[in-house]
Structure formats: C-alpha cells, structure tokens
Amino acid sequence: MNKTTRSPWAWIPSLYFAEGLPYVFVMTVSVIMYKRMEISNTDIALYTSWLYLPWVIKPFWSPLVDILRTKRFWIVGMQLLTGGALAGVAFTLPLNNFFQYSLAFLWLMAFSSATHDIAADGFYMLGLSNRDQAFFVGIRNTFYRLAMLAGQGPLVILAGHFEEISEKTSTAWSITFFIFAGLFAAFFLYHFIFLPVPASDKKRTNQSVAEILHNFGETFRSFFVKEGIGVALLFLLFFRFGEAQLSKLASPFLLDDLAEGGLALSTSEIGFIYGTAGIIALTIGGILGGIVVSRHGLKRWLWPMIIAMNFPNVAYVVLAATQSQNLFVITSAVIWEQLGYGFGFTAYMLYMIQLADGEHKTAHYALCTGFMALGMMLPGMLSGWIEDQVGYLNFFIWVMFCTVPGFAIAPFLKIDPEFGLKQ
C-alpha cells in the first residue's frame, strides 16, 4: 500500500535517475550509435536535434498533465511506454532501413519522456517546500547526472564490448537497447509500488471541456505576463547557445578518424572518457553549484556560473588543434569542460524554478524547459552542417563566439537576492 508521504530520499533519487535516462538515450547515446553505424555528421545533428521537439512543445500538453489524472499516474505510465520504445529501437536496428525505423521509436521515447518530465517536475514542486526544493536541487541533479553516467558510461562501454565480440555493430547496439528496456521495466515496477501519493496530487476529472480550455489559456497567459519575461526568455534561449552546438558534435569529434580531424577513440574509450569521467565531473560541478547557491544565493553566484559554463569550451579548441592521442590529456580536457558545465547549469536550473514559481508552477516550469529545449534544438540542428563545412577546429572556435549572447543578456535578469538561500 502506498503511503501519503514518504521521505524525499525514498523517491527523488530513483525518479530523477529515471527522468535522466531517456533524455541521454535520445540526445547522446543515439549520436554515438548512429556515428558507429556510419551515419554522417550532418544527418546525425539534424535528425537527432529534431528529437528535441517534444521537449520544446511539451508546454502545449503540460496543462492537460496538470489537470487530467494525477502526476503519479503519468509518471508510471510514461515509464512503461519508454520501456516499450527502447525495445522497439532494439528490434529495428538490424533492419535495412534501421535509421528511419529507429528514429520513429526514438520519437516515441522522446514524447513519453517529455511527458514524464512534466509530471516528475510537478511532483517535485508539489511534494517539497521552497527550502527543500533548493536543498534537493543538487540531489536531483546528482541522480539525473548519474543516469547520464549510466547511459553514456557503463552501457556505452558495454556496447563497445559487444562490438568487439559481435560480427555486426547493429547487433551490439540492439543488445544494449534491450538492456535499457529492462532497466525501465524495473523502474516502472518500483515506482508503481513505492512512489508516494501526496494529498496535493489530485485528480481533476470533474472539469468540463470549457473549464479545461479556460485553464489551458490562463496558464499560458499568466506565464507571458510575468515581469521581465522578455529578457527571461532570451536568457533561456541563448544561455547554452555555444554548449548546444558543442554537445551535439563532441562525441562524433572524439570518434572520428584523425584524417577527418577527430581523435579516433573507440566506443569503449568514449564510454569511459566522455560518458564516465566527464559525467562524474558534471555531477560534481552540479553538487558544488547547489551548495554554494544554498549558502550565498543565486544572485551572488550568477556571473561565476556563467563563466564556468562557457569558458571551459576552449578545451575542445585545444584538442582539435593538437589532435592529441594522449588519453590523459583528452580525459583532463573533457573533465574540465564538464565540471564547468555542471557548475554553471545550476544557475540555469534555479533560475527556471524562480521564474516558474506561482499558481501554475508545474505548467510554467514546463514552459521554461520548453524554451530551454528550443535553445538546444535550433543550434544543434545546424551544428553538423557547420562542422562539415569548416572542420572541427574552426567549428569549436565558432562555438566560443557563440557564448557571447549569454554574457550579454545576464546583466538584465531580475533575481531575488534571497532565492536559493537556506532559511
């Protein structure tokens, strides 16, 4: 029997681990998989960036998640659907038209994952006080990053092992995605049994269609009349303008041959360097960010976090210029960049929480993350084509120029000096 309340430690770690996995499958693991299956950088960047679309448009159905059924219902239902989509990818990879078919299942996974995000983030805000939200933001980010670690690290390394012992790359990745599907079957069962039932997580099925439509419109209206919303949206769109392009081409760069300007790493090596060491650094950066903001507030740490987010991207300029084959040098560069990314991204997360605060916080937070996804999708779509035109070195130099908008917009943000502080 589910209890009305449980300790946040009993559900936040598993919930955000489950939230992080589909995202990393769709956005990162798929890039590595398609690169290993000899899809071009232009096609990889274009079509996998389109997979951001469900996260971009999820605000259009977030009010329905907020109104119909409970957040708990949506969480467990979408975990089950995600597991089915993962199995679908696994079944289609050995086929001749694997690219089209696997993309279709990745689209299904993306839509179910985006819906899961709406419900999970709403569940987080309904179940915790403002103080606990600030405290647990580091914890939830940690387990979200651990999901990225599991998806990009051990399981990618495992895929590399399967590549070594299998005659076909497609077979290796098919087995890997079946393992992913099994993980989500386990998540579904755990949360179906153990996820709490907060009193505030109520069904609202007694509303008429007219009332639902009215609430839908009011949710959007109340968001776009917030004070300073124009500057806020520019910040959400451009804070990661450079990182959006770098993250899409980082794995292809590490995997590509030396003659193509890459570093010629194996699947297992990238699983360790980028997917394990890099994600550990990303996680540590996120934890440090949560700690310093809880002590001094977001306003004080905003600029150091913006610098940390953007300046370490220069590591990829150095790697592309030298094409170093020293694994220690490559790993150190990736760690430095990911540590800064994790630290800086804390500011972005907390700013969205502050912006979403209010009567419709679940749907408003979904709107924030929709604009965040749009800020990743549009630059990412063109990144592969840009790299194909100018090469990796000039591409990473271009990425550095793309960090300027974030610095230009930040002075105009309105941040509560007390936000994020421990009370």
Whether residue 423 has pLDDT greater than 90: no
Whether residue 422 has pLDDT greater than 60: no
Whether residue 321 has pLDDT greater than 90: yes
Name 394's Cβ contacts closer than 8 Å, sequence gap at least 6.
none
- Measured distance CA(152)–CA(104) in Å, rounded: 21
pLDDT-based confidence at residue 415 (cuts at 50, 70, 90): confident
pLDDT of residue 146: 79
Copy the structure tokens of residue 366. 């979904």
Whether residue 11 has pLDDT greater than 90: no
- Measured distance CA(301)–CA(305) in Å, rounded: 6
Copy the structure tokens of residue 78. 């979408």
Tell me the whole-structure pTM to 2 decimals: 0.81
User: What is the arithmetic mean of pLDDT over 283-294?
Assistant: 87
Copy the structure tokens of residue 165. 């012992």
pLDDT of residue 192: 87
pLDDT-based confidence at residue 414 (cuts at 50, 70, 90): confident
Name the least confident of 51-55, 113-117, 188-192, 208-212: 208-212
Helices 361-401, 314-322: axis angle to 10 degrees equals: 40
Nearest to 270 by CA among 242, 251, 293: 251
Taking a C-beta distance cutoff of 8 angstroms, is the pair 279, 152 a contact? yes
Taking a C-beta distance cutoff of 8 angstroms, is the pair 156, 271 a contact? yes
pLDDT of residue 43: 93
Alpha-carbon torsion, ordered 241, 108, 76, 154, to 10 deg: -60
pLDDT-based confidence at residue 2 (cuts at 50, 70, 90): very low
pLDDT of residue 203: 63
Taking a C-beta distance cutoff of 8 angstroms, is the pair 75, 120 a contact? yes
Domains present along the chain, CATH in parentheses: 8-195+206-412 (1.20.1250.20)
Q: What are phi and psi of 246, to 5 degrees?
A: -65, -45
Alpha-carbon torsion, ordered 7, 11, 12, 18, to 10 deg: 180
The sign of the dihedral angle between the CA atoms of 189, 191, 195, 199 is: negative
Taking a C-beta distance cutoff of 8 angstroms, is the pair 155, 161 a contact? no
Mean residue pLDDT of the chain comes to: 87
The sign of the dihedral angle between the CA atoms of 8, 11, 14, 20 is: negative
Taking a C-beta distance cutoff of 8 angstroms, is the pair 232, 413 a contact? yes
322-344 per-position pLDDT tens digit: 999 999 999 999 999 999 998 99
Beta strands in 246-301 (DSSP E): none
126-167 per-position pLDDT tens digit: 766 666 666 677 788 778 877 877 888 888 898 999 998 887
- Measured distance CA(318)–CA(264) in Å, rounded: 16
- Measured distance CA(408)–CA(236) in Å, rounded: 13
